[in-house]
Structure 1
Amino acid sequence: MRKLLMLEILILVFNSMFSQDLIVTNSGDSINCKITKVKKDNIYFTFKHKDDIRSTLLPVANIKTHQFDYFQTSEVPKDKVVGYENYQHFRIAINGGYSYQTAKVGESVPSDFKDYVRDLKSGYHFGGDLTYYFTEILGFGFKYHLFKSSNSLDNIYLEDTEGNRTYGKMRDDLTISFIGPTFSTRLLSYDKRNAFHMKLSLGYMGYSNDKVIIDKYKMTGGTMGSSFDVGYDIGLSENLSLGFQISLLTGTLIEYDWDDGIKKETIELEKGEYESLTRIDFSVGLRFNK
């Protein structure tokens, strides 16, 4: 219910962003218009006269009052307003979908656990990004994505140097986050309804794994990462689109903190043991444009 309410609020806000303004003159005339500029001496506006769209000005001394967003709908098309840029500046994207980590299973992994590690590579992600386009083609913004994966295995055992075995469960709950600024390019369709997007991001990748190897452990770490996105948005309405996207995220973990509940230590990995965080995301989601 809360998500539905938020969606309705967003749609209401977007629908009201091009509402029409009101000017009332000293002689009592009411003008339904779009005010484009307010200066000390004059107010500039665009209005509809019969079937014509006209742009003009009135001296402030001749105006009794003016009010923005007085009318809920506009008689003046956006592209007829003086100074109007025929593209949308803001894009909010909400994404979710399937993810796959591309690194090979290491040679050091015992053969009995290779399938377990392979299954852990598949998971899901969700997140979003906000972009401001300062031209029709180029934009800048921020993105945040979260990857989750888990797997478990019963009846494993650990054997000490004296041959004593301890039986129990193995489990991994893996979380990898990415946050960073993005540089974006887009190509709009002829009618500005659909768009092809490409984004490049450099940021921080956080790593966390709640492990169980009979006993509980915690692995945490972080590294610099990058993300490259390619996607296509299909317009559903003026301000709402359905988007499809494929992303490549890369990063390498060279050390991590290991916490067994009693002590915490930092483990530095050897060059051949670095942990690759590279994955591919296949996403679908909604895009809100303004």
Structure 2
Amino acid sequence: MKKIMLFSLLLLGIVLAGQAQDRIVTVSGDTIDCQVTKSSGRWIHFTLQQQGIETQGKLKQEQVSQLIRSEATGPIAFIQSDWKKWRLSVSGGIAYQLGTTDDSRKDMQEQGLTQAQIDDYHDQFMLGWQSSASIHRMVNPTVGVGLQYRLMYSDADLRITLDPQDGNHLYHGQMTERMYINYVGASVLSQQSLTINKKLQLSALISAGVAFYRDETEILEGNLLFTGEALALTTELGLEYFVTPKISIGLSANLFASKLNKVKMDNGYTSDTIKLDEDEQQSISALDLSTGLRFYF
């Protein structure tokens, strides 16, 4: 008798396990009882039984209104297709300038600065800080259009000795430089969930706009101000983790590309606009590494 009961319970468990199914509800209202096998970011893959024959299928995540996982196959999870219409992002981090320093190093060497001073100055100046903000209107769950703003700041401060090459004089003092680059542009955002529960998301952004350049330099007792503007392009690749359905923490890498073909120089007494030859154009490109928050509403 005990053997019969044990066999019956075992058989019942096998039958129930075989019947345990997930359920997909599409945005059009159709219901699919199936076994969800995996989510590859954009697609939900599943198998289902039709007249005793197992078939395989897949749906785009934006086609799914609700996904209910059976307790037998995994935790219950839901996917809602009514995506948030707005995305606000705020980030900050480091920025490393990508432009060449050959001409600057040569000028400093001609003024009598030591190699150690030249290296110290450029090590300070090439690594800066940046912050950015963007807002996008999502036209569907994966694509949005909007605006992006970026501010980069970099500086260097060094005690120097200048040699005017007259054989008689040496000048001692401070050399300080502060550079600001403001950028604003239109942007297109693409984002894609990497998991079924949409906790992890990959995003990519491309933006085109205008960069505004400002460089304040103090050498001994003299002041110089350089300003300019140029077209710029920025691309970004990021990874987000959702701590709530409306807030995520993001990490991103961003390439900012721009080059100045003319600058305005002002020494406090006179000003002049300098047009730069092609081989003299100043790169203000940089590689950004950022972390920040994303808000969906």
* TM-score between both structures, scaled by the size of structure 1: 0.68
Letter in 2 for 1:99: A
- Matching of residues 19-168 of structure 1 within 5 Å: 85-107=81-103, 109-110=105-106, 111=109, 112=114, 113-159=118-164, 163-168=168-173
1:61 corresponds in structure 2 to none
Letter in 1 for 2:138: Y
1:237 corresponds in structure 2 to 244
2:266 corresponds in structure 1 to 259
- Give the superposition deviation at 1:216: 1.2
- Give the superposition deviation at 1:232: 1.0
- Matching of residues 165-184 of structure 1 within 5 Å: 165-184=170-189
Tell me, what secondary structure is at the counterpart of 1:159?
coil
Stretches of structure 1 lacking an aligned partner (at least 5 in a row): 1-78
Residue of structure 1 aligned with 2:227, choices 220, 223, 226: 220
Change in CA separation of 1:265 and 1:120 when aligned onto 2, cut-off 3 Å: same
Contact 1:87–1:192, Cα closer than 8 Å, also in 2:
no
1:56 corresponds in structure 2 to none
- Give the superposition deviation at 1:108: 5.3
Contact 1:87–1:136, Cα closer than 8 Å, also in 2:
yes
Corresponding position: 1:289 with 2:284: no
Corresponding position: 1:250 with 2:257: yes
C-alpha distance in 2 between matches for 1:268 and 1:118: 28
- Give the superposition deviation at 1:114: 4.2
2:281 corresponds in structure 1 to 274
C-alpha distance in 2 between matches for 1:108 and 1:96: 28
164-173 vs 197-206, greater mean Cα deviation: 164-173
2:34 corresponds in structure 1 to none
2:200 corresponds in structure 1 to 194
118-127 vs 217-226, greater mean Cα deviation: 118-127
Task: State the Cα deviation string for residues 93-132 of structure 1 (Å, max 9, x = none).
Answer: 1100011011232245234324412431101111211011
C-alpha distance in 2 between matches for 1:155 and 1:100: 24
C-alpha distance in 1 between matches for 2:134 and 2:161: 42
Contact 1:185–1:197, Cα closer than 8 Å, also in 2:
yes
Stretches of structure 2 lacking an aligned partner (at least 5 in a row): 1-64, 67-79
C-alpha distance in 1 between matches for 2:132 and 2:251: 14
Letter in 2 for 1:288: F
1:210 corresponds in structure 2 to 216
| RMSD between superposed Cα atoms in Å | 1.9
Change in CA separation of 1:135 and 1:87 when aligned onto 2, cut-off 3 Å: same
Structure of larger gyration radius? 2
Runs of 4+ in 1 over 3 A off after TM superposition: 160-166
Contact 1:175–1:208, Cα closer than 8 Å, also in 2:
yes
Letter in 1 for 2:95: S
- Give the superposition deviation at 1:263: 0.8
Letter in 2 for 1:182: S
Change in CA separation of 1:270 and 1:109 when aligned onto 2, cut-off 3 Å: farther
